[in-house]
Amino acid sequence: MILNVNDKWRVLLALLLFAVMLPSHASEWSGYSAVEYRYFQHQSLNSPAGQHDLSVVLAPEFYHQWHDGQQSLIIAPFLRVDSEDAERSHADLREARWLIAKDDWELQLGIAKVYWGVTESQHLVDVINQTDLIENTDTEDKLGQPMINLSVFQDWGTVELFVLPYFRERIFAGKEGRLRSQLVVDSDKAQYESAAKQHHLDVAVRWSHSIDDWDMALSHFYGTNREPLLQPNQSFTALIPYYEIINQTGFELQNTSDSWLWKLEVIRRETSSQTFTALTGGFEYTFYGVFASDLDVGLIGEYLFDDRNDELATPFEDDVMIGTRITWNDEQSSELLFGVIQDLDSSDAVWNIEASRRIGSRWKVSLEGRFFSVAETNSALYQIRDDDHIQLELARYF
């Protein structure tokens, strides 16, 4: 069943009322509210939106446990109201899951978020949840995914089984939004390879294990592609998302050795139209206690490869990422992450900066910057080449 905006609010309200009625002695409320400001360096080439964008966020989380901690309930709604883009003003149920935990198995039922992957620049293997693209272009934010998830723990590793009965469509920037293509994506006319559309039953399995300094995982996913193909409509006035059925096998490997952290992600994806291989691999080396202080400085290097050799399908088909992570290890948890992804076949590059610092015990200020140097017209990033922006967020945690 597809919920409209009013239905979503009814569901959120019902869940929150249910949470309030539960016994308080084993319940916890947490979360945050925030004010976010975005400043775009240039006027948009594709949108009437201006250079300033203000929004507010409310993200509470309710946690309740019983049966000596063997069962728990987590409810985590999310709300953003944006001053410019109606599509970015949205409500979502990030989590509403019941967890049953035993010594050698766990069962999750409901709506949950699952993260796979080890590399910094992109997570190729992370295929369970739909990306909340209007939240951030770094693809780290995810929509809640309805699922049944069974995890079995053995000496030879952990096996996770996923049954995903409902698909979440990707949300794109609207007519008044930034970071979008010249043609607006018309999600209301989304098309599917499967006749079941959003009700196609997706399944996945993952095995993970740790041996000494090595962490590894092997996964396979069969279901609806979280990344739609965008095709122009007959009048060439909008883009229509098309969701294929895919088989994707993924492999993750990470090695920790003293100050070195080695990372690798590889996928092999098959669709009815093509089969391709992609990988991201590299390292992070950390200098601890720089200049006899509490400062840690990490150097990051990764290589991004995709054998489709099609920059309209992915901007990272032959690129390198270099960056640094600086951690002050102070009471305010001050951190800075800076990186650039450079195309090896052209001068195109993407620059990213992320910084954060706590203020007191409940406040946190975060700064992000995304800058695009794109000249190749056949690049997937060409449409947002003038959407360089700085984002400042002030959040209060409770």
- Which two tokens mark 155? 């000496």
- Residue 374 vs residues 105, 301, 316, 347, 351: alpha-carbon distances, Å: 48, 21, 13, 8, 11
Beta bridge partners of 215: 210, 254
Whole-prediction pTM value?
0.91
Q: Report which DSSP code applies to 130.
A: P
Cα(267)–Cα(252) distance, integer angstroms: 9
In order, the DSSP letters of 84-113 are S-TTTSEEEEEEEEEEEE-SSEEEEEEEE-
Provide the phi-psi class of 180: left if phi over 0, else alpha when psi is between -120 and 50, else beta. Answer: beta
Q: Check residue 312 and give its pLDDT.
A: 77
Distance in angstroms between the alpha carbons of the first and the last residue of the chain: 33
Give the bridge partners for 218, in sequence order: 207, 251
**Kind and range of the H or E element at 336?**
strand 335-343
For 20-74, the pLDDT digits (tens) are 555 555 789 999 999 999 999 999 988 888 999 999 999 999 999 999 999 999 9
Q: Which residues of the chain have pLDDT under 50?
A: 1-5
**Residue 8 DSSP class:** H
Kind of pairing between the strands at 245-257 and 260-270: antiparallel
- Distance (Å, whole) CA 10 – CA 101: 30
| C-alpha–C-alpha distance, residues 103 and 247, integer Å | 32
Q: Which domains does the chain have, with CATH numbers?
A: 24-397 (2.40.160.100)
DSSP sequence for 358-374: EETTTEEEEEEEEEEE-
Residue 3, pLDDT score:
46
Structure tokens given for 106: 């766990």
Structure tokens at 304: 């991004």
pLDDT score, position 224 = 98
Paired tokens of 67: 């049966």
Contacting residues for 318 by C-beta, under 8 A, at least 6 apart: 304, 305, 306, 309, 343, 344, 345
